Chain A
Amino acid sequence: MDALREISLAEGLVAPSQKPVVAFQQAFLDNIRRNGRLAELELIAQFKTAVFFRTGRPGFLFKDAGLAPQMSKRKKLHLLPGKVRDRKVVERIFAKCSNGAQK
């Protein structure tokens, strides 16, 4: 299944309905490559911007915005997440595994 996903992405065969899923996964990997660990707020901003530019739907940018204060009240939002000390090694791991699908 994963192999088929990789092939369909490489050959540009991703179904239009699934493009937000791929955009999310690409933003996720880019986020890890830069931080070593997931920075959730940054990922949300990155993903929403990517979908907005691909679909031109501004409503998506603000969808779920109401959850932010509720999460903040529950101490579930972190503006400055912990980063990995040795982020260069993460960059090198990504470079050695590159198949062009992350971007």
Chain B
Amino acid sequence: MSGQMKIGYYPGCALHGSSNDYEQSLRACLGVLDVQLQEVKDWICCGATAAHALNHKLSLALPARNLALAERDGHKQLFAPCPLCSMQLLKVQKAVAGGDGLRAELAQIVEADLRGDGQILNLIQVFQTIGLDKLKAAVKEPLKSFTAACYYGCLLTRPPEVVHFDDFEQPKSMEAVLAALGAKTVEWNYKTECCGAGMTMASEGTVLDLAHKILANATAHGANCVVVACPMCHVNLDMKQAAVEQRYSEKLGMVIYYLSDLVGLALGLKPEQLGIDRHFVTKAQS
């Protein structure tokens, strides 16, 4: 790779918490690709589902503070690897673009100037920005034994009027990244269905039922792994998989990778460097 790329980075709470394997993975893989992540100083939680379910104004104000901090730090591009964080940031940008005084109101609430003009990137968009041709050229270990079900979940592509990313019902962008890595992908039915997201603790049965449908469908279509770009999708499909198996008396054994895991493996990194050994379901590809 030639020339270092610097982008602003909003990790969000999950990547500094129980999904720290995701942060390890993307830092390792982007490091090889010469991408430097510049973390927004003193970022706060985006409020996640709790804020938008209980308090609309707060659900705009919390991400607005982060946008303002990123702008203050001079970031023209801001990478948010959690699709919920990313969507919340985009939602604020769309809301303040309306020109009805909301920008000034939010600036007063968050005690910082707010323009709302930066580019917000999800993980797939970071690889697109690097360039899939460059990515392909950097591959050292083509992923010939991987047959992946690409799982987008709810928020990478929805709401379409907010995120404006890929086809919101039949997305293909993750498949394009995997093709560059030499992996095969399957056509399946659940790539944009919900996994239950933040309901893991409050409504576990809902999450287990949804996760079972997703995992069973990926298996039925011949996938030997599921690939995600979201910390909550990974928690529900990987950490909760044993509970799904117990609830349905069924052995699934489906390995769940972050997209950055597979990019990293193709670039020649070891599973331990990417945090893959810290997943709950682990096995060698056959």
- Chain A residues in the interface with B (C-beta under 8 A): 2-3, 5-6, 9, 20-26, 28-29, 32, 36-38, 40, 44, 47, 64, 67, 70-71, 74-78, 81-82, 84-86, 89-90, 92-94, 96-97, 99, 101-102
Contact = CB atoms under 8 A, between A and B. Distances in A.
Contacts of A28: 48, 50
Contact of A37 (B13, B55, B198): B13
8 nearest A-B pairs in the assembled complex, by CB-CB distance: A38-B13, A24-B202, A28-B50, A25-B50, A97-B58, A74-B278, A76-B18, A97-B57
B17 A38 contact: yes
B18 A32 contact: no
- Sort chain B's interface into a size bin: 35 or more
A32 B47 contact: yes
Contacts of A44: 201
**Considering residues B50, B203, B239, which has the most beta carbons from chain A within 10 angstroms of its beta carbon?**
B50
Interface of B: 13-14, 16-21, 42-45, 47-59, 61-62, 65, 108-111, 198-199, 201-203, 239, 278-280
Q: Is the interface of B mostly helix, strand, loop or mixed?
A: helix
**Considering residues B13, B47, B56, B62, which has the most beta carbons from chain A within 10 angstroms of its beta carbon?**
B13
Contacts of A6: 54-56
Contacts of B202: 20-21, 23-25, 47
A65 to B, nearest CB: 12
A3 B56 contact: yes
